[in-house]
Amino acid sequence: MERTQQRAAAEESYAKGLEANRQLAESFEAGIYGADRSIKQVDLAVVVHVLYREESDNISMEQIHSQIDVLNRDFNWEQNDKGLIPEIWRESGETSGFRFHLADKDPDGNFTTGVTRKQTTVSDIGGGEDYYRAEWGGIEPWPQPHYINIWVCEIGGNVLGFTYLPSVSAQPSDGIVMDPRAFGTTGTAVHPYNGGRTLVHEMGHYFGLRHLWGQEEGDCTNTDYMADTPWQREANFGCNDFPHVSCPSEPDGDMFMNFMDYADDECGLLFTKNQIEFMQLVLQTAKVTLLHSPAITGITEPDDLGLTIYPNPAEEKINALFDSRYKGKKFGVYNALGQEVRTGWVSSSVESVDLSNLSKGVYFLKIDSDFVRIQKQ
């Protein structure tokens, strides 16, 4: 959150996108918007950039594959340690349908292992802004619309990893930074962070999840926008005994075994159903281009919604491109509170919608059960 707030203070465009994500989370919490649940599996391309000063941190492919395996296991509710979850929450998890793959095509269309490597002379390169800048010793990101970029490098300050909450447009730093001590399950990974779950936590942030205690610790009224996680005052570390109560309103205590707390790897155990659906919603809106990445061969794209908006972000108007299934149907444009602010009927394949007298912010065009997010500038 500290890195996210620093970026928002320094870059107006990121701050606007971050507010759009917050409005989306608020609408989700209120039950106004949800994800399209008809898409059962999505395949996401990952590129791992290994930055090392010492050869010992030039991590092996075995270690990288072990981390990808953990992501796929934990994001799909396939872990074998569910029995450690307190019974009251044991049925709270479900599969996201996210399948992570090391990219096998690079941005130029050449075959790749999905891993880049570079020796650097910069100490704790992940602690500043050097990690994504080649001229400063880092590795340039691959195009963020189509690749999840992960830098594995020294961070310093006992930080195991970080990422930024999603915005409307990708920043050069967009991706996840991981310390080699907390990446994967073998090699340089060190107990109690050798279960691969630090990256599971950071991937949750990458797809829009907050910590369970909200933006700041110390208050039992800060929301994470998830209706199925209890209120929580502050972070939990290590492995707590159940129940651990930090807010008097929650007799079952903190969900300290949730991936979005700070438990040791062996005690981080689940995403809830709402957390899963919100990550799906973020993927289908702010990060929708990941669904259509050319970086993985042999993968069938998920079904299109049959609904495309351009330009987006927009200033005066948008054009909505509908496929034939929608002809003659009514569509609406809604604000973040779920209030209908525009309406129309599909009489042709392209319909123009005037936005000129609407305030800047996030809107949704919805028809039947399909919807797309619009950013009004």
Say whether both 343 and 372 belong to one domain. Answer: yes
CATH number at residue 90: 3.40.390.10
Name the DSSP class of 5: H
Residues 242 and 313 in one domain: no
d(CA 196, CA 211): 18
| Mean pLDDT, residues 289-298 | 84
31-34 contacts, C-beta under 8 A, 24 or more apart: 32/334, 32/336, 32/337, 32/338, 33/281, 33/338, 33/364, 33/371, 34/277, 34/281
| Segment 88-106, tens digit of pLDDT | 999 999 999 999 999 999 9
What is the reported pLDDT for 215?
77
Over the stretch 316-344, which tens digit does the pLDDT of each residue have? 888 887 777 788 889 888 886 677 889 99
**40 and 136 co-located in one domain:** yes
* Last-in-domain residue among 284, 314, 334: 284
Per-residue confidence (pLDDT) for residue 214, from 0 to 100: 87
Q: Which helix (H) or strand (E) holds 279?
A: helix 273-284
Residues 270 and 359 in one domain: no
pLDDT at residue 184, rounded to an integer: 97
- Looking at residue 140, its pLDDT comes to 95
Residue at 151 is within a domain: yes
* 108/29 same-domain check: yes
Question: Within this chain, do residues 322 and 219 fall inside the same structural domain, yes or no?
Answer: no
74 and 14 within one domain: yes
Range of weakest confidence among 13-17, 334-338, 353-357: 334-338
In tens, the pLDDT along 196-244 reads: 999 999 999 999 999 999 877 778 888 999 999 999 999 999 998 889 8
**How many separate domains does the chain show?**
2
> How does strand 330-335 pair with strand 340-345?
antiparallel
Beta carbons within 10 angstroms of residue 289's beta carbon: 14
Q: Average model confidence (pLDDT) for the chain?
A: 89
* 177 & 255 share domain: yes
Query: Is 202 a residue of the active site?
Result: yes
- pLDDT at position 362: 79
Tell me the C-alpha distance between 112 and 295, whole Å: 9
Whether the CB-CB separation of 96 and 45 falls below 8 Å is answered with no
The reply to whether 299 falls in a domain is: no
More confident residue, 57 or 311: 57
Q: Can you tell me the mean pLDDT for 57-76?
A: 97
**DSSP class of residue 260?**
T
SS (H, E, C) 209-227: CCCCCCCCCCCCCCCCCCC
Separation CA 67–CA 321 (nearest Å): 40
Q: Could you tell me which residue, 9 or 195, shows the higher pLDDT?
A: 195
**Residues comprising the chain, all counted:** 377
Q: Is residue 112 part of a domain?
A: yes
pLDDT band at 300 (very low <50, low <70, confident <90, very high): low
Cβ pair 152, 50 in contact under 8 A? yes
* pLDDT above 80 for 148: yes
- Tell whether the model's pLDDT for residue 311 goes beyond 80: no
Distance in angstroms (rounded) separating the CA atoms of residues 96 and 82:
16
What mean pLDDT comes out for the span 251-276? 94
Report the CATH number at residue 315: 2.60.40.3080
pTM of the model: 0.82
> What is the pLDDT at residue 170?
61
User: Which pLDDT score is estimated for 216?
Assistant: 74
Domain hosting residue 370, numbered range = 304-376
Residue 291 lies in a domain: no
Contact 279, 97 (CB under 8 A): no
Predicted confidence (pLDDT) at residue 367 exceeds the cutoff of 60: yes
- Side chain identity at residue 262, one-letter code: Y
Catalytic residue among 55, 140, 202, 266: 202
The token duo for 133 is: 């800048």
Mean pLDDT of 122-146: 93
SS (H, E, C) 40-78: CCEEEEEEEEEEECCHHHCCCHHHHHHHHHHHHHHCCCC
Residues above pLDDT 70, as percent of the chain: 96
